[in-house]
Amino acid sequence: MPRQEDAMPRQEISAWRPAVPGIVEVFHARFTEHAYPMHVHDAWTLLIVDDGAVRYDLDRHERGTPDGTVSLLPPQVPHNGSPATSGGFRKRVLYLDMTQLDASLIGPAVDTPDLADPLLRSRVGRLHAVLADPDGALEAESRLAFVGERLRDHLRPATTPAGGAGPPKPPRGVARDLRELLDERLCEGVTLAEAARLVHAHPTHLVRAFSAAYAIAPHQYVTARRVDRARRLLLDGMPPGEAATAVGFHDQSHLTRHFRRIAGTTPGRYARSRAAAGPSDA
């Protein structure tokens, strides 16, 4: 009987955590069939597609990656993704922490996630090339600074001038209260009944309010956040079984099922891509 990993569609991946402040993960992948479900990240997703195209939904709007664009998907905003061409796609992704782009830019990024900017595209491509050099940390930091500057130039004009309404505020009420509770109890988990008691809302109202506010169900949000956290632990060298329980999954098979749906590969292959490829082969 073939192994679970051998039965997966054609794919190539490499992932690592560079020694560059502000970048929490570098992820290169080629997928022919994989479709990402709705999920969230706790970091900014800076994406370029080198071959093929990706279609995705962000904030209930269909988006895509036309030739030469740079896509910037903000943290905590659910999105999905699937090939827009029959041959799939090849992508390079940087996950940037909030030191590079702050929360005030999330609203503008939701409105305009796909940026047609050849200079920015070139800068992101050169940054990826430098990140493949183990001795290129200082140059990578310099190039990241220029990428961040260019991104902020794109996003700041869409913000409201002084005295205006300012960037969109997070939803108030039980939806935001539940999200804060889910974040606080991410690893140990919380039952719906307990959550309803703590935020003073009926369980069904709680689920409806959260899903309406964030375009993702509470259980999907928790699963995506746990997978995101597991990715970081795997890149730090933690074995998949330990990473599974560390982030709140029952066991490794539970992690594998959800990791494969969201990341397009298994935790084992993901971890091996770090050990076998590393920055020098990306």
Mean pLDDT for the stretch of residues 85-97: 94
Count of beta carbons in the 10 Å neighbourhood of residue 189: 12
Q: The tokens 């039952």 sit on which residue?
A: 191
Report how many domains make up the chain: 2
Closest CA to 114 of 57, 60, 64, 153: 64
How far apart (Å, rounded) are the C-alpha atoms in residues 16 and 27?
Answer: 7
* Structural domain contains residue 163: no
Same domain, 62 and 200: no
pLDDT digits 0-9 by tens, 4-24: 444 445 678 999 999 899 999
In a domain, 166, yes or no: no
- pLDDT score recorded for residue 163: 43
Please, which residues have CB within 8 angstroms of residue 252's CB and are 6 or more apart in sequence? 240, 241, 244, 267
pLDDT tens-place string over residues 99-115: 999 999 999 999 999 99
Q: Measure the CA–CA gap between 266 and 146, rounded to whole angstroms.
A: 34
Q: Which two tokens stand for residue 50?
A: 């080198």
Give a yes or no: residue 14 inside a domain: yes
Contact 28, 15 (CB under 8 A): yes
* Backbone torsion region of residue 25, taken as left when φ is above 0, otherwise alpha when ψ lies between -120 and 50, otherwise beta: beta
Parent domain of 109:
5-158
Whether this model's pTM surpasses 0.75: yes
| Pair 209, 86 in one domain | no
Final residue belonging to a domain, choices 125, 158, 191: 158
